[in-house]
Structure 1
Amino acid sequence: MTTSSLLQASGLRKTFGDNVVLDGVDLDVPEGTTTAIIGPSGSGKTTLLRSLNALTVPDAGTVSIGDVSVDFGSLPRGKEGRRACERLRAQSGMVFQSHELFPHRTVLGNLVEGPVQVQGEDPDEAAARARALLEQVGLAGREDAYPSQLSGGQQQRVGIARALALRPRVVLLDEPTSALDPELVGEVLAVVRDLASQGWTMVVVTHEIRFAADVADTVVFVDGGHVVERGPARDVVDAPQHERTQRFLERVLHPG
């Protein structure tokens, strides 16, 4: 594992109307590490994650993934700005809260769509890689199924495989278990744990605090659009230094 930064964000700011959602957020993710972003609802976690691949376009700040960098404060208007965002987006794979699979395509069809249609990969090679990814996430033999024939946990595992099929530099996961029934959460977390052990670079927004402590290298606590605390995962979860972090974790880990 290297410790060189693969993803860097600096000064990210985003407002929706009068609501300041991100207020000068910095983030640094070394290659081969997992960073977990935690915090209360409405704290800016998802907006931060979506800003890292320009699905949400910040008002200001810079994001760099590898040698691709976008300064959103000076982003050109129109086609040139869109292309800059697309170049950044191509460096990452996104796993959404609620799967976002194409319902009219088979599992295999969902996985090969991006590599073939967007990246121009040979269809046979894309299909072979997709089958290997399905085996990796525990869904070998389900390539001809449609999303409606799968459980929520299986659909989310397909979503993870679809993100990996794009061969991204960074995998971004937005609360990948939040839409699942409790008994299905473990199967998705097991896949994320496996990816972390393989050295994928990941940023995970999660409310699974103990999972974050066990799997992530770094935990970042966000509240009110600010990074309040960051550090080694177990240090932040087990011995938080900031009073706001302490209150949040006490409420989450010891409700009632």
Structure 2
Amino acid sequence: MSDHDPTTPLVEVRGLRKAFSGTDVLRGVDLSAGEGTATVLLGPSGSGKTTVLRSLNVLETPDAGRVRIADAEVDFDAPARDRGARRREVAALRSRSGMVFQSHHLFPHKTVLGNLLEGPVQVQGRSVDEATADARRLLEQVGLGGREDAYPAQLSGGQQQRVGIARALALQPQVVLLDEPTSALDPELVSEVLAVIRDLAATGWTMLIVTHEVRFARDVADQVLFLDEGVIAERGGAEVLTDPQHERTKQFLRRVLDLS
């Protein structure tokens, strides 16, 4: 998926800070993720998980810190040489990742195939034939082969979210960012989306996932980051979910797993 040096983390974040209306949401977050790994971000509402993810894609502009994905980097501590230079840095960083949102954000007036072609053809300038072949392969991968001509309103919420995942992959990103991809779904549709994400993890996509699905996280996570009040309070492998060391992590897991 890339020519990135495997000895260096594919994703690196240092000193990430962000405040909204004077309230600190991120208070110096450091993280790294290796190529081909799945990193799960857990934490209570308001802990900063989604803001971390949106900062990687610069959907939120950090107040301070440095973000690097592969060979693209933006240092938000350093003033840009000029506005155009910063725009180019941000565009390069954004092009390294694909974002999957809580709600699918599909174009309702475009078919499934049209939604997948929009980014590769209109933004990346790829040929329609190449992008179409890639889109059909991705739709097969997410279990929606044969639904290319359907419109979003003709699909279930789970199917729409799987289209959203395929659309992110169609950009050929080096990192896939998933922001609570099942939170807007009816409970019976959650498993079909989680199955697709499990398959992506098994095939080596680099992913950062914000989720409250702890049992799913236990299955896929190479790294778990527990955020609380804008900092990473605990980090480690999947053992963070089974044998947490931080009392705040224990409290959170007891609550979401309904344990006494």
Confirm or deny a common fold (TM above 0.5): yes
Q: In the alignment, does 2:119 pair up with 1:114? A: yes
1:85: how far off? Answer: 1.0
Task: Pick from 161, 164, 168 the counterpart of residue 159 of structure 1.
Answer: 164
**Structure 2: how far apart are the matches of 1:98 and 1:61?**
28
Letter paired with 1:138? G
CA distance in 1, matches of 2:151, 2:87: 32
Match of 1:136 in 2: 141
Displacement of 1:80 = 2.7
1:34 maps to 38
1:58 aligns with 2:62: yes
Query: How does 1:91-240 map onto structure 2 within 5 Å?
Result: 91-233=96-238, 235-240=239-244
In structure 2, the residue matched to 1:242 is: 246
Say which of 3, 14, 18 aligns to 1:14. Answer: 18
1:79 matches 2:84: yes
The one-character-per-residue Cα deviations of 1:95-114 (angstroms, maximum 9, x if unpaired) are 00000111111000000110
SS of residue matched to 2:98: strand
Q: Which amino acid aligns with 1:14?
A: K
Give the distance between the partners of 1:75 and 1:54, measured in 2 at CA.
16
The CA RMSD over aligned residues, in Å, is 1.1
Is 1:46 aligned to residue 50 of structure 2? yes
Q: Secondary structure at the match of 1:98?
A: coil
Secondary structure of the 1:5 match is coil
Question: Counterpart of 2:130 in 1: which secondary structure?
Answer: helix
Shift of 1:83: 2.2
Name the % identity.
67
Per the normalisation by structure 2, the TM-score is 0.95
Give the 3 Å change call, closer, same or farther, for CA 70–94 of structure 1 in structure 2: same
On the 8 A contact 1:3/1:31 being kept in 2, the answer is no
* SS of residue paired to 1:55: coil
Unpaired segments ≥5 residues, structure 1: none
Shift of 1:216: 1.0
**Where has structure 1 moved over 6 Å in runs of 4 or more?**
none
> What is the CA distance between 1:255 and its match in structure 2?
5.2
In 1, Cα distance between equivalents of 2:259 and 2:115: 39
- With normalisation by structure 1, the TM-score equals 0.97
1:20-79 CA distance string (max 9 Å, x none): 000000110000000000000111110010001111110000011111111012243633
Structure 2 unaligned spans of 5+: 1-5
